[in-house]
Structure 1
Amino acid sequence: MTTEQEYYTKLTTAVQVYVSDVDELSPSERFWNESYEWLESKGYRLRPRYRPGWKANWTKSWNKYEDSLIPRRPLMDATRISDGKMVIMKRLWSPTHDHEIEFNRKFSSGALATDPFNHSNYILDLLEVPGYVGLFLMVMPFMRSYNNPRFLTIGESMDFFQQLFEGIAFLHRQNIAHRDIHHGNVLMDASDIYPEGFHPIAQDLTRDFKGAAKHYSRTEHPPRYYLIDLGLSRHYDPANGPPLDWPVLGGNKTVPEFEGEGYKQLHDPFPTDIYYAGQLIREHFLRGLYDFHFIYDIVVQMVDPVPSERPNIEQVLSQLVELRASLTSRELRTRALERKELVTYMAPLRLYRAMSHSLRTLRYRFHKLPPIPSKTTEVDSREENVEVNSS
């Protein structure tokens, strides 16, 4: 039986002698190769690259072959054999990742699973890996980045803000701080936008790697957004007094209260969550897109350098509801213009997108599609109970 420490010691040794080359499996990939047949027995099939005995079948132009694509560890994409659903597997060790396992199981079943504000990614299966001490594979629906494909209208963005704040509110109401909200930890279920699916690595291509993946807009098929990666999340019992914890450096390294001597002090993690969400919106929407001034006042409050001056998540949600009510249908259907389009040499692209937007808007109006596409009142179909599926 291999322990977590023994596994990483072996992996480190193997990496030291490994020469990066897609023609052969990397040390971290060998785990999946060795687990291929066991995973099939559990109902999951990995891509051809991880079949026992796999060998590269190219002599040149390796990037044209599907089995040259490598996922980001410790994650692995797979197909659920029973229905062809694409899933993602995450390697987690106990007790190192007990918090993450506990929270995900808690939010994936029972009353919390049906809470419409629950935007935490959910578990489809939890597999205990044979031959290892405390190693689990957490199986979840496969999702893609919240901003890919790009937002097309102000209304589509407003729906994203609403769902993002709902997800944070859900956690905070459970006295749980996420502590790692950033661009990579906010995803969307794009199964309705891409009804025929997409490749898990080359996501602009079809699952069979033979052509461009066709997709709809968010207005046509509203997605549901999720907060993922609860590895740094913690529960704070109000009975123990004000929530205080040491700083953690997650994906966002710009937190004002963590700078200088602040990194050596205890802080309330809930205002930090507010900062994380505000910073995400500031970076992608205020700085990346044009004419998003309407959300500026809310974001400025959320990223206030003084944590105690930031609104709590309920106040943020309340302000957003008021903002939504103040925007007209015409404003909500306005195109989400990327700032890079304002550069002179991008004029042809800007003109093409403007014309496409006008035609889309006419079609949306004809079909009476709302300017704010919303899935916020719908609850995803989570498993009733998620038990450990041991060997």
Structure 2
Amino acid sequence: MNNNPPIPEDRGEHEMFWVSLQPHLLSHGYKLRPRYDPEWIPSWTKPGGKHRGFYEDSLRGGAKLLDGIRISDNMKVVFKPVPTSSDELALATLLSSPKARADSRNCAVPVLDVVDIPGNDERVLMVMPMLKQIFNVPFRRVGEVVEMVEQFLYCLQFLHENNIVHMDFCRYNLMMDGSRIIPKGWHFCDAYSHDGVSFASAFEWNDRWSVRPIQYYLIDFGLSRQLQDASTRVVGDWGQDRTVPEMSFEVPADPFKVDVYQLGNAIKKYVAAYTGLRILDPLIENMTASDPVKRFTADEAVRYFQERKAKWSKRAMKSRIWKTGTPFKRRFMVKYRGERSILT
């Protein structure tokens, strides 16, 4: 007799991993979306059903990550399967320890829970808060970007003090707590919808400046490691950013300087996407120097940033910035008419 849940026509085989875990997660206090209920019937197939686009349960999840709800407090969370023997699990839980979290510079994503996978001794599920991609919400003022840069610089310094190298300190691993910016929340599968079916035009959000401070987070420690010796060198390719000058499979490189370059280059991309952020150029240049010897260390980057920030006025921090190419009419509508387009 086959006890596996049926696979509706719309539900992919990779999703069935989550369907099989749904009862187990429920017993641990976590609820998945209706789509992952073993008894799920697609809403659009029921009598009187409309086009599938009108229904939240039409949105597919991924094999590597899935969202859910912590039942005790209705908190949105994300589940990530990781090998039990991985450095990722060890480092992520280490950085979530009370001692590590006591350091305000530590902005590594907290691991809320680790849930076993029945019948699988090789993998577990890390449970983390559901965070927002930084670039999903536009920056409006210089100070908003400065706040983000400051937190990631301090986090980099904290990691390096503990001989931890991230090795993928890049754009898609830089996240934020979006709860103040988007009080109504957002759907895991649709960054510009509260519920997965409403349109971006109905999306309500606040400027970062009006609800500051915003907490930023570093995620994905899949390539990270804690080194025994700060003089350790590595070979290979690392993470999303393949422009690291010293990246090589033959010549060993300083992984600490790789981290600095990756973060500097991530900041550079944000600066390039907006007008009005030239004050960060000197920091970026020193963090992305092609010669690793001449490149800042994390400590030097923090010290340089602190010295520069002390000279920046409150007026400079409140200065408006705009996505490169934003037409004058749109700027006028945002600044003087209160237009709220999430895409501008």
Aligned-partner SS, 2:217: strand
Structure 1 residue 354 corresponds to structure 2 residue 339: no
Give the 4+ runs in structure 1 shifted more than 6 A. Answer: none
Inter-CA distance 357–255: structure 2 relative to 1 (3 Å threshold): farther
Report the Cα distance in structure 2 between the residues aligned to 1:231 and 1:65, rounded to whole angstroms.
34
Structure 1 residue 224 corresponds to structure 2 residue 215: yes
Post-superposition offset of 1:209:
4.2
Of all paired residues, the percent bearing the same amino acid is 29
Aligned to 1:26: 12
Post-superposition offset of 1:295:
0.8
Aligned to 1:73: 63
Q: Provide structure 1 residue ranges, at least 5 long, that are not aligned to the other structure.
A: 1-17, 359-391
Report the Cα distance in structure 1 between the residues aligned to 2:338 and 2:285, rounded to whole angstroms.
30
Once the two structures are superposed, residues 204-240 of structure 1 have per-residue CA deviations (whole angstroms, 9 ceiling, x without a partner) of 22247456342222122221101111111111123xx
Structure 1 residue 305 corresponds to structure 2 residue 296: no
Q: Which of residues 92, 96, 103 is equivalent to 2:82?
A: 92
Structure 1 residue 319 corresponds to structure 2 residue 301: no
Once the two structures are superposed, residues 141-194 of structure 1 have per-residue CA deviations (whole angstroms, 9 ceiling, x without a partner) of 110112321111001111011001011111101011100011110100112222
Report the Cα distance in structure 1 between the residues aligned to 2:171 and 2:87, rounded to whole angstroms.
22
Which sits farther off after the overlay, 321-330 or 156-165?
321-330
Aligned to 2:52: 62
Aligned to 1:200: 188
1:244-255 aligned within 5 A: 244-255=233-244
Report the Cα distance in structure 2 between the residues aligned to 1:123 and 1:230, rounded to whole angstroms.
12
Aligned-partner SS, 1:246: strand
Inter-CA distance 208–254: structure 2 relative to 1 (3 Å threshold): closer
Aligned-partner SS, 1:190: coil
Report the Cα distance in structure 2 between the residues aligned to 1:219 and 1:316, rounded to whole angstroms.
24
Aligned to 1:128: 116
Aligned to 1:146: 134
Q: Give the TM-score of the pair, scaled to structure 2.
A: 0.89
Report the Cα distance in structure 1 between the residues aligned to 2:103 and 2:31, rounded to whole angstroms.
32
Structure 1 residue 52 corresponds to structure 2 residue 38: yes
1:254-293 aligned within 5 A: 254-258=243-247, 262-285=248-271, 287-293=272-278
Specify which structure has the higher proportion of strand: 2
Which sits farther off after the overlay, 59-68 or 137-146?
59-68
Post-superposition offset of 1:301:
1.2
Inter-CA distance 356–114: structure 2 relative to 1 (3 Å threshold): farther
Asked whether the equivalents of residues 23 and 55 of structure 1 are also in contact (C-alpha less than 8 Å), the reply is no
Asked whether the equivalents of residues 197 and 213 of structure 1 are also in contact (C-alpha less than 8 Å), the reply is no
Aligned-partner SS, 1:134: strand
Specify which structure has the higher proportion of helix: 1
Report the Cα distance in structure 2 between the residues aligned to 1:179 and 1:170, rounded to whole angstroms.
15
Report the Cα distance in structure 2 between the residues aligned to 1:101 and 1:35, rounded to whole angstroms.
20
Q: Give the TM-score of the pair, scaled to structure 1.
A: 0.79
Amino acid aligned to 2:13 = P
Report the Cα distance in structure 2 between the residues aligned to 1:26 and 1:72, rounded to whole angstroms.
9
Aligned-partner SS, 1:92: strand
Report the Cα distance in structure 2 between the residues aligned to 1:118 and 1:284, rounded to whole angstroms.
22
Amino acid aligned to 2:295 = R
- Higher relative contact order (CA closer than 8 Å, sequence separation 6+): 1
Asked whether the equivalents of residues 75 and 90 of structure 1 are also in contact (C-alpha less than 8 Å), the reply is yes
Q: CA RMSD in A?
A: 2.0
Amino acid aligned to 2:89 = I
Q: Provide structure 2 residue ranges, at least 5 long, that are not aligned to the other structure.
A: 1-6, 340-344
Which sits farther off after the overlay, 54-63 or 138-147?
54-63
Asked whether the equivalents of residues 142 and 276 of structure 2 are also in contact (C-alpha less than 8 Å), the reply is no
Amino acid aligned to 1:124 = L
Post-superposition offset of 1:323:
1.6
Report the Cα distance in structure 1 between the residues aligned to 2:284 and 2:196, rounded to whole angstroms.
41
Amino acid aligned to 1:231 = G
Post-superposition offset of 1:55:
3.0
Q: Which of residues 336, 340, 347 is equivalent to 2:325?
A: 340
1:118-197 aligned within 5 A: 118-197=106-185
Amino acid aligned to 1:50 = Y
Once the two structures are superposed, residues 322-363 of structure 1 have per-residue CA deviations (whole angstroms, 9 ceiling, x without a partner) of 22121222211111111121xxxx3321221232579xxxxx
